[in-house]
Amino acid sequence: MPLGNPATPIGIANINSTVTTPFTLHVIPRDQHTISRKDISPNALRVLYRLREAGFGAYLVGGAVRDLLVDGRPKDFDVATDATPEQVKQLFRNCRLIGRRFRLAHVVFGREIIEVATFRANSDDGSGDREVENGMLVRDNVYGSIEDDAVRRDFTCNALYYAIEDFSVRDYTGGFEDVMARRMRLIGDPEQRYREDPVRMLRAVRLAAKLNFQIDGPTAEPLPRLANLLSEAAPARLFEEVLKLFLSGHGVASFEGLERYGLFAVLFPESAAALKSNRTGALRRILIEGLRNTDDRVANEEPVSPAFLFALLLWPAFCRALIGLQKQGMAPEEAQRRAADRVTLHQLTTIALPRRFSLPMQEIWLLQSRFGSRQRKRVLRTLSHPRFRAAFDFLLLRQAASPEHQDDIAFWREAQLQNGQDLESAPDSVLAEDGQEGDVPRRRRRRRRSGGSATTTTTGE
């Protein structure tokens, strides 16, 4: 395919038609873009040069090119080439081939893996190496041209190729112009592309939040209409996407985007309903505060946990279920356990939350009710609970919505400062023996709570 003149305007009509329409190549030479080799992983450069020396086309592609153009630091560097996976393997000793359905080469440099993918077409014409097993497509290696590879991608900003041969950026879909305008635009017909893969709706919101891009009108328009398609996506994939949405440092912006386009209600129906009916707005404040904290932690490179995240996202649902059960007359402890189980079970139909996260999530919820107790044995047990720290952090968030947790926070902060031994020998004035509230200086309790704070809070929050 002849190289297009860099000045040639991009055929907008082409882009808005279907993915099979030929696209115009736009080459952005080195002096007209900001991608510099010093910002590219040296291992990715090694792979690119080796492929090139062996006579193959070699390009950096996808998120890395996009992030480099917007001054971001890519978290991984993917390479695209016209070499087959087997040919790639022959070039690198440290290479392994992975994937049955889509065969990919991984070139391994210690902890860094450079993924090398052969140009792929999205064709259904029966050509290429396809294998069907029990009606399921198990192998789908339909190799194609760089142009085929570009148009099967989702957004124009993700379909840019940085060529090691001349350091230019190759653009088949108008992505360069879109990145410069900070615009997310689907390649091809938006509705068709969302129907093919509804997870692209989440990617639109996530990438717009991460990059601070606007979603282009025609790309945004079908989102509320098609949001329900998401419930048909694979629950395991939705779990992964939710982690990326909320644990990549842009959780607040992601949440706002999801709500704006009606996607949050499809992912978390019960929490969405609870947020809607919570007139004080307290549940929303907790959620936003929690997401903001998580974003700060990511920015400071502190660890974040899926269990805590889901405890946060499903807290509105939990509170709502709890109120419902208590209205039916169920005892507080039983109601809490039942509410936790019910919310978890319902959520699993949409998002596959693994047990290793759902169990600690429930523990974080159930520990909330223990923070109201000053009974010596209970205090010690709560302090030594493996989820104590997370549950206490959660209590701090709840404080954002309602100042009623102030006393509990002061008490448990103090309790943590003393070590277990100090507590064992603490006078009864600090720890009540019989479940009475302790008479703690500067932390005098305003009223006695019998049901536990999560119970009290559900009506308050």
Positions marked catalytic: 76, 78, 154
One symbol per residue from 58 to 77: x for binding ligand ATP (CB under 6 A), - otherwise; what is it? ----xx--------------
Report if residue 51 touches ligand ATP, rule: CB under 6 A. no
Cβ-defined contacts of 348-356 (< 8 Å, 24+): 348/235, 349/235, 350/231, 350/235, 350/238, 350/266, 350/267, 350/268, 350/269, 351/235, 351/238, 351/239, 351/242, 351/267, 352/234, 352/235, 352/236, 352/238, 352/239, 353/239, 353/306, 353/310, 354/239
Would you call 159 exposed, middle or buried from its count of C-beta atoms within 10 A (0-12, 13-18, 19+)? buried
Residue 173 binding: pick among ligand ATP, Mg ion, none (C-beta 5-8 Å cut-off by kind): none
Q: Binding-site residue total for ligand ATP (CB under 6 A)? A: 10
Q: Out of 131, 197, 302, 424, which residue is the one contacting ligand ATP (CB under 6 A)?
A: 197
- For residue 141, the SS3 value is strand
Distance CA 282, CA 265 (A): 18
> Nearest distance from residue 50's CB to ligand ATP, in Å?
22
Nearer to ligand ATP by C-beta: 267 or 319? 267
Q: Which stretch binds ligand ATP (CB under 6 A): 192-200, 234-242, 373-381, 449-457?
A: 192-200
Report if residue 398 touches ligand ATP, rule: CB under 6 A. no
Distance CA 187, CA 17 (A): 9
> Nearest distance from residue 114's CB to ligand ATP, in Å?
13
Number of Cβ within 10 Å of residue 358's Cβ equals 23
One symbol per residue from 150 to 189: x for binding ligand ATP (CB under 6 A), - otherwise; what is it? ---xx---xx------------------------------
> Nearest distance from residue 318's CB to ligand ATP, in Å?
29
- For residue 403, the SS3 value is helix
Nearer to ligand ATP by C-beta: 102 or 167? 102
Decide if 355 contacts 239 (C-beta within 8 A): no
Diameter over CA atoms, the chain: 85
Q: Out of 106, 185, 200, 250, which residue is the one contacting ligand ATP (CB under 6 A)?
A: 200
Report if residue 206 touches Mg ion, rule: CB under 5 A. no
> Nearest distance from residue 203's CB to ligand ATP, in Å?
6
SS (H, E, C) 106-138: EEEECCEEEEEEECECCCCCCCCEEEEECCEEE
Report if residue 106 touches ligand ATP, rule: CB under 6 A. no
Residue 158 binding: pick among Mg ion, ligand ATP, none (C-beta 5-8 Å cut-off by kind): ligand ATP
Q: Which two tokens stand for residue 453?
A: 């704070």
> Nearest distance from residue 227's CB to Mg ion, in Å?
24
Nearer to ligand ATP by C-beta: 244 or 285? 244
Would you call 441 exposed, middle or buried from its count of C-beta atoms within 10 A (0-12, 13-18, 19+)? exposed
Distance CA 269, CA 254 (A): 17
Residue 461 binding: pick among Mg ion, ligand ATP, none (C-beta 5-8 Å cut-off by kind): none
Q: At what angle do helices 199-211 and 251-260 cross, to 10 degrees?
A: 130
Would you call 345 exposed, middle or buried from its count of C-beta atoms within 10 A (0-12, 13-18, 19+)? exposed
Residues 48-77 that bind Mg ion (CB under 5 A): 63
> Nearest distance from residue 245's CB to ligand ATP, in Å?
10
Residues 202-261 that bind ligand ATP (CB under 6 A): 244
Q: Out of 44, 91, 199, 272, which residue is the one contacting ligand ATP (CB under 6 A)?
A: 199
Nearer to ligand ATP by C-beta: 198 or 290? 198
Residues that bind Mg ion (CB under 5 A): 63
Residues that bind ligand ATP (CB under 6 A): 62-63, 153-154, 158-159, 197, 199-200, 244
